[in-house]
Amino acid sequence: MNTRLLKDEDWDTLCEWWKAWPGWESPPKSLLPDNGKGGLMVEKDGIPIIAGFIYLTNSEACWLEWVVSNPKYKNRDRKQAIELLITSIEQTCKGLGKTHMFSIGRNKHLIKIHEKLGWHVDKKPSYEIIKNI
């Protein structure tokens, strides 16, 4: 497996993935870092598996968000790909001098992987609050 930066050519694939998962919609590019290229993709043998976006801030924190995976990829190493994505984004943020990471999630499997990797998971529910202005 390898990790690479997102490219313009990934956009249609990401949109297909978001639409394939129940209750998900593609976010507008303008909401994503670097207009949809500000993140990483994990691939195996040229097959894209999972991607996530990195929001940079003017503090020592960065935000991992919009993690989406290939719903057709059913291999046993799927969990390994998720772990690779998260740890690669952690390393990218460390390399940028960031010392804190933040993410929001509701998928129980993704939350368990974050916990396994040493992330603190607040057990109290919270809500994403967004307004288009």
User: What are the sequence ranges of the domains in the chain?
Assistant: 2-116
Nearest-angstrom CA–CA distance, 36 and 51:
11
- Model confidence at 131: pLDDT above 80: no
Reduce the DSSP state of residue 34 to 3 states and report it. helix
pTM given for the model = 0.89
As a whole number of angstroms, the distance between CA 125 and CA 66 comes to: 18
Q: Residue 85: what pLDDT?
A: 97
What DSSP element (H or E) covers 73? none
pLDDT over 70 percentage in the chain: 100
Higher-pLDDT residue of 55, 131: 55
Superfamily the domain 2-116 falls into? Gcn5-related N-acetyltransferase (GNAT) (3.40.630.30)
Helix (H, G, I), strand (E, B) or coil at 127: coil
